[in-house]
């Protein structure tokens, strides 16, 4: 089932999402729907608040990108970044902010502890695009969006687009839900 994506002005995108206590049948179903919805929208990462669920759960699949075709899709639950290394700047976009891109500086590599789709404890070191997507999606679990991290000068250039999204004027090639208030 394809779930509609919550858009910029939706309150749920500003909430701190709740940790999961386990993975039950309902969670498994949600994970499946999240992959389906992400692929349908040509996204490479999707966090549960983006489909209206305030849970610390995200999915990612970067296998469509050059040099990442061997990387398996990931389910990441209750993630904790335990260490970071370096910094770089990359252009980001977000399915919840359609039509907007901008440069964001973030740590270049991260050490992560998390639970997988079986709720088993995992840890890993991630760099390159995986570090980038993971940090973007983990931000979603803390109510943060990439535009919050853009330099003020760059942010001013996209303010008009953000205002349109806030006003509920959304153009996207996938189903969306607008304001919640």
Find the shortest distance in angstroms from Cβ 118 to Ni ion: 25
Nearest residue (CB) to Ni ion, 75 versus 94: 94
**Residue 44 touches Ni ion, criterion: CB under 5 A:** no
Find the shortest distance in angstroms from Cβ 95 to Ni ion: 6
Nearest residue (CB) to Ni ion, 23 versus 94: 94
**Could you give the CA distance from residue 66 to residue 68 in angstroms, rounded to a whole number?**
5
90: helix, coil or strand? strand
**Minimal CB distance to Ni ion: which residue?**
94
Show the binding pattern over residues 67-96: x = contacts Ni ion (CB under 5 A), - = does not: ---------------------------x--
28: annotated active-site residue: no
**Could you give the CA distance from residue 93 to residue 147 in angstroms, rounded to a whole number?**
9
Q: Is 42 left (phi over 0), alpha (psi -120 to 50) or beta?
A: left
Please work out the total of residues on this chain that contact Ni ion, with binding judged by CB under 5 A.
1
Catalytic residues: 137
The residues that touch Ni ion, with contacts defined as CB under 5 A, are 94
């Amino acid at each position: 089932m394809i779930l509609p994506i919550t858009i910029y002005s939706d309150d749920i995108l500003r909430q701190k999402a709740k940790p999961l206590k386990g993975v039950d049948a309902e969670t498994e179903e949600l994970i499946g729907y999240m992959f389906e919805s992400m692929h349908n929208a040509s996204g490479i990462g999707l966090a549960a608040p983006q489909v209206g669920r305030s849970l610390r759960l995200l999915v990612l699949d970067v296998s469509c990108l050059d040099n990442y075709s061997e990387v398996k899709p990931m389910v990441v639950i209750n993630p904790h970044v335990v260490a970071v290394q370096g910094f770089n700047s990359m252009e980001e976009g977000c399915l919840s902010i359609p039509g907007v891109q901008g440069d964001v500086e973030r740590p270049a590599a991260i050490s992560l502890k998390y639970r997988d789709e079986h709720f088993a404890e995992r840890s890993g070191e991630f760099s390159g695009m995986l570090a980038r997507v993971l940090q973007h999606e983990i931000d979603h679990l803390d109510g943060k969006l990439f535009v919050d991290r853009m330099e003020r000068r760059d942010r001013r250039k996209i303010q008009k687009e953000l205002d349109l999204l806030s006003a509920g004027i959304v153009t996207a090639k996938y189903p969306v839900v607008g304001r919640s208030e």
